[in-house]
Amino acid sequence: MKKRLSLIVFIGVISISLLILCLSVQLIDLHNLPQSLPMTYEDVENINLKKPFGKGVTANLDEKTVNVSGEKFSIKTLVFKLFGFIPIKTIDANIVETKEVYLGGIPVGLSIDVDGLIVLGNNNISTESGYVNPFENSKLKVGDIILTINNTKVTNLEELQKILENSGYNGEELTLEVLRKGEILMLGLTPALDEESGKYKIGLWVRNDAAGVGTLTFVDCDTLKFGALGHPITDYETGAIVPAKSGKIFPCSVVGLSKGEKGTPGEIKGIFMQGRNQKGTIEKNCQFGVFGTLTDKSKLIDPNKTADVASRLTVKPGKAKIVSNVSGVSEEYEIEIIKANYQPSQSDKSFVFRVVDKRLLNLTGGVIQGMSGSPIMQNGKLIGAVTHVFVSDPTKGYGVYIDWMIAAA
């Protein structure tokens, strides 16, 4: 009898321990939520239906009226309870209307005018005393973005040459304001007198623009503000985010695909003409993508193809779909969300997914470069966009929550 009782107690302790362990993981996710969140009434319903924080957690919307200096205000809070009666978390609920957007999924060409000059490389200058390399004698690095020279802003090669002609005749050291990985640096650079031309030169290879192919994610139905790519356009040498002064978005023609394999990412091969068929302007290049405003929505969106935006709180592991035009027509492809991170603050790589649709696997091998920005749908709502591929396994990729892209736009 005692042995049987001991066994029952042991099983009970183990069961309770496992329950506490499971709950602790879910409650940590809940605890990490910010103190205030924008959400719709439907989002609140979905939290209770989909149970993203565990089957034992429910959410109730409470409303109370407060009096401030004679004026009455309504305050809404979302109260999370364990087993329906133990309060464990309360956040301010900023109730908003359900947002509807045009769905993307179309490849686009993106061209950015850089707010400065990107340093690509350097070369020697032939002087009377031999070869001189101003770059090697300075603290500049490839990938640095030159913003000003001697307090004068430079955005193109012509402005750079004028500064050299006005400032370099005496071989004086130039003061460069440089952006490097988000940090502003003041560096010196001394031009050298070129023996052949008789002009002072700095021996730098620079450019003032960046371009690439990505996928349009969404367009606001009211303002035509758009979001694309899901991650920033970066310098291919350093990986640093390219600061955008302005830019343009164009239709893109897909001319081929290279299939992704383990260790070798695939790629959408697309072309676009920067001088023709501009469809809008780019205003921002940031952590969550490229953003701007369309001036012409033809060829980029289907006015009959819209979707409601879902809060990240409603995203959970399970079935979802990628919207992509890789086959030449816009199609939905089945994926499985493996892990959804309940991010308390803005961050990329919000969730991990796996491509399970055989059509897409046969066509691309999974996620390939150029698919970044492809909309991801769950339960008929837009929840995010494709951002990165797992190089070690092209069937897997990362997505970013649409919350972060909408906020950036």
Residue type, 137: N
Whole-angstrom distance, CA of residue 372 vs CA of residue 230:
6
Tell me which of 113, 209, 357, 393 is the catalytic residue.
357
Whole-angstrom distance, CA of residue 258 vs CA of residue 269:
8
Whole-angstrom distance, CA of residue 409 vs CA of residue 406:
5
Tell me which of 235, 372, 388, 403 is the catalytic residue.
372
Candidates 340, 343, 356; CA nearest to 398 is 340
Whole-angstrom distance, CA of residue 96 vs CA of residue 79:
18
Task: Tell me if residue 357 is catalytic.
Answer: yes
CB 178 within 8 A of CB 187: yes
Tell me which of 138, 144, 220, 231 is the catalytic residue.
231
Sequence-distant (6+) residues with CB within 8 A of 58 are 48, 80, 81, 84
| Cα-based distances in Å from 251 to 64, 112, 180, 328 | 50, 15, 32, 13
Whole-angstrom distance, CA of residue 271 vs CA of residue 54:
47
The residue to which tokens 């004028």 are assigned: 162
The residue to which tokens 């009377």 are assigned: 128
Task: Tell me if residue 372 is catalytic.
Answer: yes
| Apex 398 CA angle, 393 and 402, nearest 5 | 160
Whole-angstrom distance, CA of residue 45 vs CA of residue 48:
5
CB 305 within 8 A of CB 102: yes
Task: Tell me if residue 231 is catalytic.
Answer: yes
Q: Which residues are catalytic?
A: 231, 357, 372
